[in-house]
Amino acid sequence: MNKSLVSLFASVTLFAAFPAYSLSEREPVIAEGTVIRVIDGDTYDIRIDNPSIYEQFKDDARGDSRRERYVRQRSQSIRVRLASIDTAESVHVNPERNSVRGKQSSSVVSNMLSNQPVSVKCYDWGRYGRSICNVEFLYQGQPTDLGEWLIKNGHSEYVSKWGRNPYKDREYREAQRQAR
C-alpha cells in the first residue's frame, strides 16, 4: 500500500476513533467506501466497505421511503449529497436547468472519483433522502476534502443557507475567499 493511501486511511482511522451514531441523532457516521457512480458534481453513489456501517445507514433509513431508495442492498451503497456544495446542474429532469458548467463539474468529479476509495463523514439526511456528507479522497497523493477542492477550483461556492458546514466551515470560507 502506498504512503498516500496509508495517509488517507490514517485520517479515516482518526475519525473512526469516535463512535458512529445514527444520522438522526446528528452525530456523524464515518465510513470508508468506493465511488461507484457519479450522478453529477455534488451527488454520488458510494459502496460502503464495512457491512455494519452500511447496516447502520439502512436502519436509519428504515420507514422513510425517500431515504430507503438511496440505501441499496444489492451494491451495499448509499447516495451521498456533498455537504455545503452546489455545483451547476448536469442531469436535472428539467433540461433547461442543465448547463455546460454543470457537465464540466460532473466530468471533473467523475474523472477524479470513479472507482476510487473515499472517506465519508455523514451527519444528516437531505430533503430528497440522500445522506449529507463531507467526502475525502486522495488528490496528488494527499488526503483532500472534495468540497474544499471544488470551491478552490471554481466548481462551486460555499453554500451555507441550510447552516454552516459543521466540520469545514473555516476551510470552506477561506477557499471561497481565495477563489475570488
Q: What is the CATH number of the domain that holds 88?
A: 2.40.50.90
Rounded to whole angstroms, the Cα distance separating 154 from 140 reads 18
Q: Nearest CA to 74 among 98, 95, 45?
A: 45
- pLDDT band at residue 169 using 50, 70 and 90 as cut-offs: very high
CA atoms within 13 A on the CB side of 118: 33
Number of domains in the chain: 1
Residues 6+ apart with CB under 8 A from 56: 20, 22, 29
Q: What range defines the domain where residue 148 resides?
A: 3-179
Q: Does 19 score more than 90 pLDDT?
A: no
Q: How far from 58 is each of 49, 69, 134, 160, 166, CA to CA, in Å?
A: 14, 10, 19, 28, 23
More confident residue, 115 or 99: 115
- pLDDT band at residue 7 using 50, 70 and 90 as cut-offs: low
